[in-house]
């Protein structure tokens, strides 16, 4: 399915393994109760669709573009998703477990109960996307671009709190 254009792709109650969707425009996808394992979604475009109770295991999603999507009860486990973009999307009860999200972006999206567990978030950009209720405490990053308003009530580790303070221009000293 490489370099394909599909619109209104519906997949329900399925397990899909070793499938390559690279460089495809999947349009308005509707995936419910689906497990994708060892699949390649690199540079895939999805817009105006939904992912509900979907699991992505050991998939590649480098450069994947998700715009105006609804994602609920969805897990990304050991997914390589560097340069992924979530734009104007609504996300509820998501888990990013041991993922690579370097240089990823979350723009003007709504996040509810999102956990980033042991996930590399280095150079991620978060813009007009409140992280209230999200847990970043076990994730790693050296640099992250985020407005302080979007950090309100986000869970972070002590080390991350120091990193955020430094990014905001505060001088942190040991007393």
How far apart are the C-alpha atoms of 137 and 130, rounded to whole Å? 16
To the question of pTM greater than 0.85 for the whole model, the response is yes
Parent domain of 150: 40-168
Q: Is position 133 within any domain?
A: yes
- Mean pLDDT score of the chain: 95
E-state strands within the chain = 10-17, 25-27, 30-37, 45-47, 50-57, 65-67, 70-77, 85-87, 90-97, 105-107, 110-117, 124-127, 144-146
Q: Which two tokens stand for residue 88?
A: 């104007």
**pLDDT tens by residue, 12-51:** 999 999 999 999 999 999 999 999 999 999 999 999 999 9
Q: In the beta sheet, which residues pair with residue 85? A: 65, 105
pLDDT for the residue 175: 67
Say how many domains are in the chain.
Answer: 1
CATH number for position 123: 2.160.20.80
Q: Is position 84 within any domain?
A: yes
**pLDDT tens by residue, 99-157:** 999 999 999 999 999 999 999 999 999 999 999 999 999 999 988 999 989 999 999 99
Q: Is position 63 within any domain?
A: yes
Q: Is position 26 within any domain?
A: no
Q: Is position 75 within any domain?
A: yes
């Amino acid at each position: 399915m490489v370099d394909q254009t599909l619109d209104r792709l519906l997949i329900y109650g399925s397990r899909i393994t070793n499938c390559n969707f690279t460089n495809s425009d999947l349009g308005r996808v509707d995936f419910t109760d689906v497990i994708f394992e060892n699949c390649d979604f690199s540079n895939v475009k999805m817009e105006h669709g939904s992912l509900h109770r979907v699991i992505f295991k050991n998939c590649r999603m480098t450069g994947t573009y998700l715009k105006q999507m609804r994602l609920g009860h969805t897990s990304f486990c050991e997914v390589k998703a560097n340069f992924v973009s979530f734009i104007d999307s609504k996300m509820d009860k998501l888990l990013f477990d041991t993922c690579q999200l370097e240089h990823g972006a979350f723009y003007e999206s709504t996040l509810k109960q999102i956990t980033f567990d042991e996930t590399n978030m280095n150079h991620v950009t978060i813009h007009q996307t409140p992280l209230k209720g999200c847990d970043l405490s076990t994730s790693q990053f050296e640099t992250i671009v985020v407005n302080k308003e979007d950090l309100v009530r986000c869970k972070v580790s002590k080390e991350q709190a120091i990193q955020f303070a430094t990014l905001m221009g505060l001088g942190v000293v040991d007393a």
